[in-house]
Amino acid sequence: MAETGSLLTSLECRACCASVDPSRLVGTCPTCGHALLAQYDLARLDARAWVGSWPARAPSLWRYRELLPVQHSSQIVSLGEGYSPVLPLNDVPAAPGVRVRLKDDGGLPTGSFKARGMSVAVSRARELGVRAVYVPSAGNAGVALSAYGARAGLPVRVYLPERTPAPMKVGCRTYGAQVVEVPGTLREAGAAARAAEAAQRSFDLSTLREPYRVEGKKTMGLEIFEQLRDEEFPSAIVYPTGGGTGLVGMHKAFEELRALGLSERRPRLYAVQPEGCAPVVRALRDGATAVTPWEDPSTIAPGLLVPAPFSSERVLEAVRASGGGGVTVRDREIVDAMAELARRFGVSASPEGAATYAALGSLVRTGAVHTDDTVLLYNTGTGLPFSLPELERLVAGASEGASPEAP
Ligand SMILES: Cc1ncc(COP(=O)(O)O)c(C=O)c1O
Ligand SMILES: [Zn+2]
């Protein structure tokens, strides 16, 4: 058995059923190019004893190390990520009578949930002998990789859309990463990154193009189970969806908990996207098995400006299997939600996280969410790098006919 207790057995491709030895350094499926997902020997875990061991463990996502891929604790690259608080939001005006909770990843290292995936992926990459890493990013993933790369002693290159908020660019550089700015959205940044890196020996940490960031994001679901497993367990989780890896990760967590006999409950997952870039919501509505790229994407929420998520089949499958759905919000509503979360509840939410709060009204109106529900909103990042007056100006400009731009 691995020294960490990791029960990792293989990497599986759900598209073509290929199985890959996880001791190999791989990105996507060598047969068909889709995402690979880690599998564990769950039968070897004494599930009740495992749950019983959690309280004595340090409050980070590494408390779930048996269901994470790293084999040697000396390879773990940690900044204390995970185990974020769940806050009650009482008397939300848009959702009268509904129990609303908010899981707040804004306090994680580098200010977002991206720390989860990067801690696990950088640890595993280093364990498998990787010497340099790169990522195309909307901002937060780049900052997180810059920090974890620095801690691991790996050189990092980050490809950012030119319009990425300045604090994110500064953040990457502060951690010593090289920043390459690319015109366009994350799609163009990804294409530029892959073209530029093809001749290098650097490893691609793009979401779902390597198998382990999603394992870090899986801990969002494991934590929700640990923190709320009694009567507070959410019947619905509202999640701001860009690439959708968080949805794939949480779905995987609930599947593994079910396979372990720990929980039959599966919260309905709701994907929230901005009206100006909603390829996942559109595909859910149309009954499609994969997304078609969104034309002319635009939103003030940088992490949701993802017109063509990779391996979207897995994202759609996660939402559908949970019995959930998709919902869009306007940029104007996102900015109002940021202000309301801050002023009514003392919560600093990123535009992405605030989009979940903005979605509550339409989820209630359409009957997707009702008074029997406990709804968990996922705040994926802190709002501190964002200026509300600046976002206000952007959405006001947009409503006068100008085209909205990412800040
Ligand atoms: C703050 C924030 N929330 C949500 C997302 C989207 O995450 P996912 O890829 O899991 O859909 C991002 C991605 O950049 C982000 O930075
Ligand atoms: Zn495959």
Query: Domain for residue 313, yes or no?
Result: yes
Query: Domain for residue 13, yes or no?
Result: no
Query: Domain for residue 9, yes or no?
Result: no
Query: Domain for residue 153, yes or no?
Result: no
CATH code (residue 221): 3.40.50.1100
Name the amino acid, one letter, at 25: L
Question: Structural domain of residue 381, as residue ranges?
Answer: 86-112+212-399
Query: Domain for residue 328, yes or no?
Result: yes
Count of structural domains, the chain: 1
Instruction: Tell me the Ramachandran region of residue 367: left when phi exceeds 0, alpha when psi lies from -120 to 50, beta otherwise.
Output: left
CA 313 to centroid of ligand 2, rounded, Å: 12
Give the ligand with the smallest distance to the CA of 26: 2
Q: Which atom of ligand 1 has the smallest separation from the CA of 112? A: 1
Query: Domain for residue 133, yes or no?
Result: no
Paired tokens of 246 = 């968080």
Site to substitute for ligand 1 among 84, 112, 272, 347, most atoms within 8 A of C-beta: 112
pLDDT at 402 > cutoff 60: no
Give the ligand with the smallest distance to the CA of 386: 1
Task: Give the confidence band of 403 by pLDDT, cuts at 50, 70, 90.
Answer: very low
Of the chain, the percentage scoring pLDDT greater than 70 comes to 98
Q: Model pTM greater than 0.75?
A: yes
pLDDT at 17 > cutoff 70: yes
CA 220 to centroid of ligand 1, rounded, Å: 13
Query: Domain for residue 50, yes or no?
Result: no
Task: Give the confidence band of 1 by pLDDT, cuts at 50, 70, 90.
Answer: confident
pLDDT value, residue 231: 76
Query: Domain for residue 371, yes or no?
Result: yes
